[in-house]
Amino acid sequence: MISKKFFKSSIIYSVIGALPLATSFILLLFYANLLSTSDLGLLALYIPIAFLVQIIVNFAMDTSIGVHFFEFKDQPEKLKQYLGTIAGLLLVIGLIFALFSIFSGNLVFKSFWPKQDLKFYPYGFLSILTGICNSFFKTYTNLLINQERPDRYFWMNTSTFVMTIVFSLGLLFLFPHTLIGPIWGRFLASFVNSVIAYYFFKIEFGIRIYVSFLRGIFIFCLPVFLFIFIGWILSSLDRFIIKAMMQSSDVAIYDFTVKCIVTLEFIQSGLSVAITPKIFNLFKEQDLKESTVEMNRYFNGFTIVNLFIVPLMVIAIPLIIPLLVKNHELYKGFSFVGLLCLGFITRSLYTMYSLPIYYFKMTKLLPVIFGIAALFQVSFSIFGIREFGLLGVVYAGFLSKFIQVFLLYLGSRRVFVFKVNRIKQFYLPLFYVSICLFSFFAFHKNPGLWVYCLQLIIIYIAVILVFRKELLQMLEEAKKSKYFPGFLAR
């Protein structure tokens, strides 16, 4: 039986883990109204710079903690030395990166952005410091998850959420129409919490680098780091390509539209997190080497949710955002919001094909798979901007998601045989993709709301017809419970 403690901690980790997305969306609504479109575009570049620095300084050591914490759990002294080494490495790498930035940062920024609208001092340097601080904080909060300390995880992440909102908005209102609030707000919040994380590392484990751990840390972390770095390329490099070939305002339009669909990403991530342990448990208990009806039921549920929420999101964004944001220049992104959302239709297959790779420890394939996808996306983005303008980046991101799914399938089929209902998992999602693409080009790349509504009606009818048994089962489950667990909870 699931204990109350487990249920409580699961809720905390899931909800609090989504706070960074909530922070970004809440602040975005204020920034979109109080910053110029050009400044909003520059901010959309400074934030990924901070994230890139966080990835480099962290070097996937937060992931290493998640694995080696359990390996050394029965050896308290060795665990203490290992965690002290991780903290020491983070501190040393962070200091080296900060010193390197002081002496070379301005030259690097001028080399990449000669127009000098993306400046190193002060905002670029503060973004780098923010990334360094966040690497320390993220590593410690990951440790809290493994230590099963949800209370401290809760208040540390909640304090970050509150401080980021308060500092950013307070400074934004004090210094309107500048990036002082957004940049300084994030830095101050990350700095305070990194100091707290450093303090806990110090008193609990000490901070000292033991050379005997270094080789093992490097061997474990390098492939994971490459995978995370490639993930940054797939999710963030497109902004810099737009900046290099277009204007800062174009970066703002694209970034704003992408962030408007953050709710969709949150829902899908939540479904993936909920499904993953159940599928892994099936792998272990039944020693699965091929799909079963029970396993497919989870992914059928994922597909149902996708095909319900994606068309809804396409309609909701052009309807709701104008009520909250008055910068009409940002509305230009509504013309391609359907294509952006459409890329998320692959998430069910993405999850299905990636889980065997993780479970059967074939993770060395991941940098190769996503490296190929990143190479395609970057190349096509450059070509696409030249031919289609901002839409070229949208096309590249859309196609890249399908390439990722195909490559994951090629990798996972080496250890697992997929036996699925093709109508439910392939043909129905492809049918929706087809009608959306037809509408997009038939209406000169700018379908109206009535077209989106028609798409929703068509796909909802199709989903009800194809998944009628699953939907009836979900309704039956709902009648038995005051909650709505559906068949996914089984």
Residues 148 and 267 placed together within one structural domain of the fold: no
The per-residue pLDDT for range 250-292, each reduced to its tens digit, is: 999 999 999 998 888 878 887 887 788 788 888 888 888 888 9
Residues 46 and 117 placed together within one structural domain of the fold: yes
**What residues make up the domain containing 322?**
261-360+415-489
Residues 265 and 205 placed together within one structural domain of the fold: no
Mean pLDDT of 332-357: 92
Residues 355 and 459 placed together within one structural domain of the fold: yes
In a domain, 155, yes or no: yes
The per-residue pLDDT for range 41-100, each reduced to its tens digit, is: 999 999 999 999 999 999 999 888 877 787 788 888 999 999 999 999 999 999 999 999
In a domain, 228, yes or no: no
Residues with Cβ within 8 Å of 80's Cβ and at least 6 positions away in sequence, in order, are 204, 205, 206
Q: pLDDT tier at 485 (50, 70, 90 boundaries)? A: very low
Residues 163 and 88 placed together within one structural domain of the fold: yes
Residues in the chain: 490
pTM: 0.89
Q: pLDDT tier at 154 (50, 70, 90 boundaries)? A: confident
The per-residue pLDDT for range 191-214, each reduced to its tens digit, is: 999 999 999 999 999 999 999 999
Angle, vertex CA 422, rays to CA 421 and CA 428, nearest 5: 110
Residues 39 and 186 placed together within one structural domain of the fold: yes
pLDDT over 50 at 112, yes or no: yes
Q: Which residue has the tokens 């039986």?
A: 1
In a domain, 233, yes or no: no
Residues 273 and 142 placed together within one structural domain of the fold: no
Q: Per-residue DSSP letters for 391-443?
A: HHHHHHHHHHHHHHHHHHHHHHTTT-B----HIIIIIHHHHHHHHHHHHHHHT
In a domain, 103, yes or no: yes
Q: What is the DSSP letter of 447?
A: -
Q: Which residue has the tokens 């068509």?
A: 458
Which is nearest to 255 in space by CA: 323, 340, 381, 167?
340
Identify the residue with better confidence: 155 or 117.
155
Residues 280 and 161 placed together within one structural domain of the fold: no
pLDDT value for 421: 92
Mean pLDDT of 433-452: 87
Residues 437 and 355 placed together within one structural domain of the fold: yes
pLDDT over 50 at 479, yes or no: yes
pLDDT value for 481: 53
pLDDT value for 454: 94
The per-residue pLDDT for range 360-406, each reduced to its tens digit, is: 878 789 899 999 999 999 999 999 999 999 999 999 999 999 999 99
pLDDT value for 66: 72
pLDDT over 50 at 487, yes or no: no
pLDDT value for 270: 74
Number of domains in the chain: 2
